[in-house]
A and B are shown apart, each in its own frame.
Chain A
Amino acid sequence: MSLQKQTPSDFLKQIIRRPVVVKINSRIDYRGSWLAQNGYINIALESTEEYVNGPLKNKYGDAFIQGKYVTTQKRRM
């Protein structure tokens, strides 16, 4: 497990094109490939799936998530 100092911008450079999970609130998850984000952590994802408790809607193609509501983004192995 790598333990070096890593700021949020370093983290975001590492996850480009990687599969990630973006949590909106306690109930909703978005899983997709990270494309881009801006200063407000508005996020673009590719081939996104939406999980509400269990998988509900499936989106393919691009998704845009407003940064105001994002809780966590995690890197998925």
Chain B
Amino acid sequence: MNASSASFFVTRLCSVMDKLVDKCIGSRIHIVMKSDKEIVGTLLGFDDFVNMVLEDVTEFEITPEGRRITKLDQILLNGNNITMLVPGGEGPEV
């Protein structure tokens, strides 16, 4: 794959992803991080790096006890450590 076809592929992928995440704005989303942490919140917005602004957020630490931290108001989640997005997800079962 040469450089121009690779960048075309990346551009297409980004536009597809943008449309997917755009559909989620205003609804609940469940985010799985690279570490043992999951976040559930209402999606307010995101940017090109999939940094996300969320509201009414619950944070789950996946430990043997399944600890939970609830945060209201708004957070900015760094997109660097996000592994997976689940639209409409409720989070892990505790």
- Say which residue of A26, A67, A74 sits within 8 Å of B75 (CB atoms): A74
Alpha-carbon gap, A22 to B51, bound state (A): 14
Cβ-defined contact, B74 with A11, below 8 A: yes
Cβ-defined contact, B76 with A72, below 8 A: yes
Which A residues are CB-close (under 8 A) to B76?
8, 11-12, 72-74
Cβ-defined contact, B53 with A8, below 8 A: yes
Chain B residues within 8 Å of A, Cβ to Cβ: 25-26, 33, 35-37, 39, 42, 44-47, 51-53, 55-57, 59, 61, 71-78, 80-81
- Say which residue of A68, A71, A74 sits within 8 Å of B71 (CB atoms): A74
42-66 of chain A: CB within 8 A of chain B: none
- Closest B residue to A4 by CB, please name it: B44
Cβ-defined contact, A1 with B56, below 8 A: yes
Cβ-defined contact, B75 with A73, below 8 A: yes
B-contact 0/1 string along A10-53, CB 8 Å cutoff: 11100000000000011000000000000001000000000000
Cβ-defined contact, A7 with B53, below 8 A: yes
Given contacts A26-B35, A67-B78, A70-B78, are A5 and B73 in contact (CB under 8 A)?
no
